[in-house]
């Protein structure tokens, strides 16, 4: 890695951490109902929404009522996206006259976008009309992200409040997340992306002459090309900020109309982790001890930087097969060096590895390079980042409440070691909280491993593994189910997944991975909010110290290693040994 690449990575991490406090502080004010600089403009809009929706903003919900509201709202969103796709041919804003989407693909996509996964088994520019992209997918990008943020805030209230029943109002949390946080940030980012050349238009696709004519497979002359355009910038902004990840075009943010320049690339990468990082500070602010938020953010950053270093090293080291062919893989001022297969030359190795690590640290799933073309250890990084449970930054809201499940487990284990009832933020962590936290940790693991096992022993699952007869084909299936089971959405694209088997199986994984985790989170919030606040004593475990950060990292890595090392040994690890062994 040269100094330029190192500088870009350091700049990214530094800017991310610098923005965490101001944005996190603003979000804390939003969720605590305090005045912000946006109140004068958006306050009347918020009150109007409550009035026409019949929402009583001051009404508190217990955890069960909150959960029912979450489920009903998300089911309606899922059904709306499904119907839009099935009726697409009859709906407006379809200048290319695209036909209806098949039933199995519509199911998969509806579940995917409602669950904040944004797994895409289809090519956007040849499948989805502008109407489906905007009214279906982009709307879900906003509200699925806002749902995760709302659930997180409900959990935080469980720690903050005591001897109470209510954990907030889902409709208020959903509205404020969308109106005060996601929408303003998306407008700013969309305008910045348009300034860099990201397209935003309702015009039909453009036919242009090729600068250099060519021939097709049959020897026929090809002199022109159809350029897909559309209202992309508005969707790209929220897909990144909401850790959604679904691309307007098939190749996602490797497409120049989605990600035109190195600056747009930096902004989009920054947007992936911006809100998840800032929510750590929001958490600390709302519980009255910002050290708690910083401790979690530092934990996330240490794991992120460690795996990012592995990814950059693996890709910059190059491919031994290319070396044998005489391909120059040495990095110079005019040669990016390393393994450039599947990467855009305008981004190079460092920015491709950085994006791959960030998008799988968060439950984003967008890509600016082909993960399937990474070296085995380079591909292991995004795979393992997902398998940790999408808690290293993670999705907006969902990443932090997943991390808090690990914190609960870490506190509980440490309490057992010293023979003391564990406490966290003044609340006793007892058997019920531990059971719910365990469910949150185990459900994604179970879904990923069982789904992979079924796929590799059934004819339907094996039929579309294009890299057959080796560990890479297994890695593609493991990646797909790890992605679905952790609501990520990225893929090793050598797997043909747009068929009834994978559309159905992955859809089930995405559905359970999202909502079977939300219920335990809200159950923990409902249990904690009823408990008394216990004053800290000499026996209380400090949860903001370097020692606890190391302990938390150890718990996270042990759970991840014990769960997936055997599966990884059958895929990227053995593939790496085969590559270096010639």
3-state secondary structure 529-557: CCCCCCCCCCCCCCCCCHHHHHHHHHHHH
Q: From CA 450, how far away is CA 48, in angstroms rounded?
A: 47
Measured between alpha carbons, how far is 142 from 516 in angstroms, rounded to an integer? 21
Helix/strand/coil (H/E/C) assignment for every residue in 317-344 = CCCHHHHHCCCCCCCCCCCCCCCCCCEC
Helix, strand, or coil (residue 424): strand
3-state helix, strand, coil in the chain (%, to 5): 65, 5, 30
The pLDDT assigned to 540 comes to 81
Give the per-residue pLDDT at 582: 63
423, β-bridge pairs: 428
Beta bridge partners of 222: 214
Host H or E run for residue 222: strand 221-227
Question: Residue ranges of the domains in the chain?
Answer: 3-213+225-580
Q: Are 477 and 452 contacting, i.e. CB atoms less than 8 angstroms apart?
A: yes
* Tally of CB atoms within 10 A around 376: 21
- State in Å, rounded, how far the first CA of the chain is from the last one: 24
Residue 279: per-residue pLDDT: 97
| pLDDT in the model for residue 562 | 87
Q: Give, for all 582 residues of the chain, the pLDDT tens digit.
A: 678 889 999 999 999 999 999 999 999 999 999 999 999 999 999 999 999 999 999 999 999 999 999 999 999 999 999 999 999 999 999 999 999 999 999 999 999 999 999 999 899 999 999 999 999 999 999 999 999 999 999 999 999 999 888 999 999 999 999 999 999 999 999 999 999 999 999 999 999 999 999 998 888 999 999 999 999 999 999 999 999 998 999 999 999 999 999 999 999 999 999 999 999 999 999 999 999 999 999 999 999 999 999 999 999 998 888 888 888 888 877 778 899 999 998 899 999 999 999 999 999 999 999 999 999 999 999 999 999 999 999 999 999 999 999 999 999 999 888 777 789 999 999 999 999 999 999 999 999 999 999 999 999 999 999 887 689 999 999 999 999 999 999 999 889 999 999 999 999 999 999 999 999 999 999 999 999 988 877 778 899 999 999 999 999 999 888 899 999 999 999 999 988 876
Residue 488 contacts residue 360 (beta carbons within 8 Å): yes
3-state secondary structure of 213: strand
| Alpha-carbon gap, residue 518 to 440, rounded angstroms | 8
Taking CA atoms, 520 is separated from 103, 330, 339, 340, 528, in Å, by 31, 50, 43, 43, 12
- pTM, entire model: 0.94
Helical segments of 388-499, H only: 398-418, 431-455, 459-462, 471-485
Identify whether the C-beta of residue 207 lies closer than 8 Å to the C-beta of residue 226.
Answer: yes
In the prediction, which pLDDT does 541 show?
A: 85
Helix H or strand E segment including 154 = helix 139-160
Chain mean position to CA 226: 31
How far apart (Å, rounded) are the C-alpha atoms in residues 573 and 582? 15
Give the per-residue pLDDT at 180.
Answer: 97
Interatomic CA distance for residues 133 and 49, integer angstroms? 24
């Amino acid at each position: 890695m040269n100094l330029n690449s190192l500088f870009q990575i350091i700049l990214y991490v530094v800017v991310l951490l610098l923005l965490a406090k101001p944005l996190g502080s603003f979000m804390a004010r939003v969720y605590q109902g305090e005045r912000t600089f946006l109140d004068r403009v958006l306050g009347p809009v918020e009150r109007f929404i409550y009035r026409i929706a019949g929402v009583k903003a001051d009404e508190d919900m217990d955890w069960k009522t909150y959960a029912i509201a979450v489920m009903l709202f998300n089911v309606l969103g899922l059904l709306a996206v499904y119907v839009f796709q099935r009726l697409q041919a009859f709906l407006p804003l379809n200048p290319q006259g695209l036909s209806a989407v098949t039933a199995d693909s519509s199911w998969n996509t509806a579940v995917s976008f409602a669950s904040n996964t944004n797994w895409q088994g289809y090519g956007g520019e040849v499948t989805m009309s502008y109407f489906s992209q905007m009214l279906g997918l982009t709307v879900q990008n906003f509200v699925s992200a806002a749902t995760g943020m709302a659930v997180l805030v409900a959990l935080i209230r469980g720690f903050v409040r005591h001897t109470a029943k209510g954990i907030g109002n889902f409709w208020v949390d959903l509205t404020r997340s969308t109106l005060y946080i996601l929408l303003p940030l998306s407008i700013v980012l969309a305008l910045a992306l348009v300034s860099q050349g990201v397209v935003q238009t309702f015009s039909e696709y453009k036919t242009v002459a090729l600068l250099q004519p060519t021939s097709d497979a049959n020897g026929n002359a090809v002199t022109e090309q159809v350029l897909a355009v559309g209202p992309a910038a508005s969707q790209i902004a929220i897909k990144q900020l909401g850790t959604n990840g679904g691309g307007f075009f098939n190749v996602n943010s490797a497409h120049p109309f989605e990600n035109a320049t190195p600056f747009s690339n930096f902004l989009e990468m920054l947007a992936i982790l911006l809100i998840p990082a800032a929510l750590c500070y929001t958490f600390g602010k709302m519980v009255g001890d910002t050290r708690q938020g910083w401790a979690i953010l530092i934990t996330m950053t240490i794991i992120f930087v460690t795996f990012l270093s592995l990814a950059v090293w693996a890709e910059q080291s190059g491919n031994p097969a290319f070396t044998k062919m005489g391909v120059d893989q040495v990095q110079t001022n005019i040669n990016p060096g390393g393994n450039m297969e599947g990467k855009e030359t305008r981004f190079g190795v460092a920015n491709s590895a950085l994006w791959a690590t960030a998008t799988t640290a968060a439950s984003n799933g967008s890509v600016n390079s082909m993960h399937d073309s990474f070296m085995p250890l380079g591909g292991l990084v995004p795979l393992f980042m997902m398998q940790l449970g999408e808690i290293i930054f993670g999705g907006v809201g969902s990443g932090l409440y997943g991390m808090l499940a690990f914190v609960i487990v870490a506190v509980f284990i440490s309490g057992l070691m010293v023979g003391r009832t564990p406490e966290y933020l003044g609340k006793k962590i007892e058997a019920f909280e531990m059971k719910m936290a365990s469910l949150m940790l185990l459900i994604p693991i179970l879904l990923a491993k069982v789904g992979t096992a079924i796929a590799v022993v059934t004819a339907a699952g094996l039929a579309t593994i294009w890299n057959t007869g080796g560990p890479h084909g297994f890695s593609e299936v493991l990646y797909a189910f790890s992605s679905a089971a952790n609501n990520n959405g990225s893929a090793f694209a050598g797997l043909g997944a747009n068929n009834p088997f994978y559309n159905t199986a992955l859809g089930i994984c995405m559905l359970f991975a999202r909502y079977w985790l939300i219920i335990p989170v809200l159950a923990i919030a409902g249990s904690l909010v009823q408990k008394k606040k216990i004053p800290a004593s000499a026996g209380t475990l400090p949860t903001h110290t370097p020692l606890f950060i190391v302990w938390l990292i150890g718990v996270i890595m042990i759970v991840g290693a014990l769960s997936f090392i055997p599966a990884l040994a059958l895929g990227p690890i053995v593939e790496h040994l085969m590559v270096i062994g010639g």
